[in-house]
Structures are given as structure tokens and as C-alpha cells.
Amino acid sequence: MSGGPNTCCIRFFVYRKGNIRKEVYLSSTVILGGGVTGLCAGYRRKRAIYEGQGVPGGLCASYYVSADGNKDRRRSYRFEKGGGHWIFGHDKDLLQTVNDLSPVKKYTRRASVYFPDLDLRVPYPFQNHLYLFPKAIRDKVKNELRGPLSKVEPVTLHEWMIHHFGNTLCELFFLPFHELYTAGLSDKITPEDLFKNPSNRSVILQGLTRKTTAVGYNVTYLYPKQGLDHLMGQIEGQCDINYNKRAEKIDVRGKNIFFKDGSEAAYKKLISTVPLSEMTDLCGFKGLKRNDPYTSVLVYNIGARKAKKCPTDHWVYVPQSQSGFHRIGFYSNVDAEFLPRTKGQEELVSIYVEKAFLPGQKPGKIQIDRLGREIIEELKSWQYIKEAEVISPTWIEHAYTWQRPRSGWKQESLHRLKEHNIHSIGRYGAWKFQGILDSMRDGFLS
């Protein structure tokens, strides 16, 4: 355990037959999960946190890899487990709290969409910059978007995209991109996180002939100067956190958590940041509606030498790729601190590449290695990189959560948990898309 002398968690031991020791922990309020939401839920109040892994932060965790195996961070690429996690939002008090914990830098977004067939890169959101496209495409979009919107409300994400953007833009980008991004679920899920897809038709029509003003939820964003791991470490330092405590079962009537290492934790109130679908299984709930879907993401963190067409963008969306990835991020275009501090640093680039999968489709090591080689070759063919010095794949089981039309599973699950004084919060606990700042707020307010 960490957290110093102010811990709220009392530990004592009982013995089973055969003198096998079992650890039992008691606390009035227990937090399950030590990601960003769980850490903030335990921050200052010293609530006991139980985290299944050995490090804090969940997906918000930086790590370092060098080309020669040297452990000196100054000679290493800095990566993040789940790809780039940038902090966006407008809560001034919360942003100040983040800055007090770990000073941040402010960045102006540079993002684009790359169309391999056209060898064309267009600023994000691409639908507001159509003046860069051939006239034939612009004329088709103009004709499709001049008419009024249909009065029939779209139900699925697929229908929503066609409803707002028309066939041409959907065929060009929205449908193929979301086929990759959702791993084929776009016609089976409701429209969510729509702020990522600005759909103002008047602005789209303006963009047919001229540059438009930057829009979107992350026009500016923040990132800690010393890395995301530093921010997580600063929060962790004021928490009472127990590592390598993976929950195996929860007795909701007896209010007891059983961990895989044989230890237990009793509670009166449980705050969970565990993915909602896992939490209902841990609690053994029967009779719930079918789980809403999620997608997993395989993230390839790559350190390489730049090629002549390497973008200066922070990230690039891709509607078509031979390897099946949907986004490339450029850590080192955000900040050079992601690169080894060596001679010739300006010739290097630090990248993350994302490919989505449905549950149960996690590839094996041979497939992961083969896909990594294919991605490297594709990026080389685009002249984004030369030879890769480092390639480090990470698997994110619950990356994005979705809802089926008229499902009701999420609401029923949250209600059932609350009946047993279990409060499921955060991006995965509440089964919703949100960024780091909103996840922190959920924890602070719990």
C-alpha cells in the first residue's frame, strides 16, 4: 500500500485451513480502478483505491523505449499506452488544478484527413475545406447539400452521417473512416460523440470556395510539460492505492470484493471505474439486456526517421489504408520532448497508429508483428517515414464504448448497481465518450 500515515484503509489478517494467510481490507468507501477517474476519486480524501495493474493512470500512462535498449530516458522515445491523450475542455478551475499538479503547455490543433487515392491531405474537419478538392467533387457536394434536411430522424450513426453530409462526402470519407473506427459497427450503433463531426451545412458550403475558421472541441488543448505520467504520479502521491489487485468477484449483498490474489476488501460504498460490462459480470447480475458493444484498439507506437512527406500535423485521420488503421498521431509534432535527446533529433519522429477490433478479435503475437511490419511499409510508401528504429504495440481492450438503438442496457445496469450502493463512473464505468478533463471531474465529484 502507498498513501502514507493518513490511510483510511485498515488491514488485518485471518487464516484459512493449512495456515494459508488471507488479507482482508476494511473501508467505508472503496474505489475500484486506478485510472484517471479512480485516482481523482481518491485524491486528498484518501479513499482506498484498488488497481488491477502495477502502475497508476490506466490508459493515461507514458512509457519510454530506446532504440538500443538503454534505459536513460534522455535517449528514449516517449510513448503513451493508448496513443496520444491530449487535455481539452473549458472548466477553468479544473484546468488550474491540472496545472498546479503538473504545469502544462497549450497547443493549437494541427489535424488533417489524408486521402491516399488522391494523395491529398486536407485540414480537419475536411468537410469545411472542400475548396482543396477537384471541382467535380465540389459540384456534387454543393448539389446534395443545398436542399433541406430530411424530416426523418436518423437512428444509427450510418444514417446520421448520410442525413447530415450527403452521399458524396460519406462515400469520400465518413462511411469508410467510421467502418474502420468502429470496426464495422456504424450501422448498428446510435450517433455518439458527434462533436467530433461538425455538421454546419452553411459552413460546409462556404468551405467550397474559401478557407474557413477552425472549429471543433479541441481547437486548442493542453499537455503536461513533464508528460502525462508525471501528472498521474502527482495525483497518485496523494492517494491510498493498492496495486495488482484485480477483482474476481463482488458480493453485492455482503458488500465484499474478492481479488484474484486471494485478498478481500469490505466496503459500505463502492465507486467503480471498471468498464460497465465487466462490472455487471463481477457482480453476477442476471437478467440484464444484452451488453452494448465496445471496440478494442491496437496501438503501434513507432520511433522512426522522417521521410520527405512526413506531416507537421498532430494527428491525421485516414479513411482508407491497406493495413486497416484509421488514425496516425505524431507525438513529436506536439512536442520534441517525445523524442530522444540525441544529435540529429530533428530527423526523427515519434508516432502512434490506431487500428480497431471487435471484442474477441485480439490478434496473437505473430499477427501483431506482421501487422506492424505492414503498417511500417505503408507509412514508408506514403513517404511519412524511412526506417523505423522502435515499434512498440499496446492493446487497449475497452477503447471506445457504443450504444445500440433503443437498447436500455446502460441505464438498467447503472440502476442495478446503484441499488447496491455501487456508483459506476468515468469514461468506461458510465459507458460514454469523454476526455481526460471530464473523467477527472467525475472522480472529483464522486
Q: Name which of 155, 164, 103 is nearest 128 in CA terms.
A: 164
Q: How many whole angstroms separate alpha carbon 426 and alpha carbon 444?
A: 11
Residue range 40-50: average pLDDT?
A: 89
Residue range 8-24: average pLDDT?
A: 50
pTM of the model: 0.91
Let me know: does 46 contact 8? Beta carbons within 8 Å. yes
Res. 25 pLDDT band, cuts 50 70 90: low
Sheet holding 240-242, edge to edge: 240-242, 48-50, 29-32, 269-272, 422-424
pLDDT in tens, 281-315: 999 999 888 899 999 999 999 999 999 999 999 99
Q: Name which of 315, 327, 332 is nearest 400 in CA terms.
A: 327
Residue range 189-217: average pLDDT?
A: 84
**370-377 own/partner pairs: CB under 8 Å, 24+ apart:** 371/298, 371/300, 371/323, 372/300, 374/322, 374/323, 375/300, 375/302, 375/323, 375/325, 376/302, 376/304
Q: Give the pLDDT confidence score for residue 149 in this predicted structure.
A: 78
Cell 477483482 belongs to residue: 247
Mean pLDDT of the chain: 91
Cell 528514449 belongs to residue: 76
Quote the percentage of the chain above a pLDDT of 90.
79
Residue range 166-180: average pLDDT?
A: 96
Q: How many whole angstroms separate alpha carbon 246 and alpha carbon 66?
A: 30
C-alpha cell at 426: 468515468
Quote the percentage of the chain above a pLDDT of 70.
93
Q: Does residue 2 register a pLDDT over 60?
A: no
Q: How many whole angstroms separate alpha carbon 386 and alpha carbon 379?
A: 8
Domains by residue range for the chain, with CATH: 4-56+239-290+408-444 (3.50.50.60), 62-110+294-401 (3.90.660), 126-206 (no CATH)
pLDDT in tens, 210-254: 999 888 888 999 999 998 989 999 999 999 999 999 999 999 999
Half-sphere exposure of 99 (CA within 13 A, CB side): 12
Q: How many whole angstroms separate alpha carbon 8 and alpha carbon 27?
A: 7
Residue range 350-377: average pLDDT?
A: 97
Q: Does residue 8 register a pLDDT over 70?
A: no
Q: Does residue 179 register a pLDDT over 60?
A: yes
Residue range 408-424: average pLDDT?
A: 97
Q: Name which of 180, 418, 398 is nearest 291 in CA terms.
A: 398
Q: Does residue 196 register a pLDDT over 90?
A: no
Res. 163 pLDDT band, cuts 50 70 90: very high
Half-sphere exposure of 282 (CA within 13 A, CB side): 26
Q: Name which of 372, 204, 212, 219 is nearest 301 in CA terms.
A: 372
C-alpha cell at 427: 469514461
Q: Does residue 15 register a pLDDT over 50?
A: no
Residue range 89-113: average pLDDT?
A: 94
Residue range 266-279: average pLDDT?
A: 96
pLDDT in tens, 326-346: 999 999 999 999 999 988 899
Q: Give the pLDDT confidence score for residue 13 in this predicted structure.
A: 44
Half-sphere exposure of 190 (CA within 13 A, CB side): 15
Q: Does residue 388 register a pLDDT over 90?
A: yes
Cβ-based neighbour number of residue 1 at 10 Å: 13
Three-state secondary structure string covering the chain: CCCHHHCCCEEEEEECHHHCEEEEEECCEEEECCEHHHHHHHCCCCCEEECCCCCCECCCCEEEECCCCCCCHHHCEEEECCCCCCECCCCHHHHHHHHHHCCEEEEECCEEEEECCCCEEEECCHHHCHHHCCHHHHHHHHHHHCCCCCCCCCCCHHHHHHHHHHHHHHHHHHHHHHHHHCCCCCCCCCCCCHHHCCCCHHHHHHCCCCCCCCCCCCCEEEEECCCHHHHHHHHHCCCEEECCCCEEEEECCCCEEEECCCCEEECCEEEECCCHHHHHHHCCCCCCCCCCCEEEEEEEEEEEEECCCCCCCCEEECCCCCCCCCEEEEHHHHCHHHCCCCCCHHHEEEEEEEEEECCCCCCCHHHHHHHHHHHHHHHHHCCCEEEEEEEEEEEEEEEEECCCCCCCHHHHHHHHHHHCCEEECHHHHCCCCCCHHHHHHHHHCC
Q: Does residue 136 register a pLDDT over 80?
A: yes
Q: Does residue 146 register a pLDDT over 90?
A: no
Cβ-based neighbour number of residue 13 at 10 Å: 9
Residue range 172-192: average pLDDT?
A: 95
Q: Give the pLDDT confidence score for residue 17 in this predicted structure.
A: 43
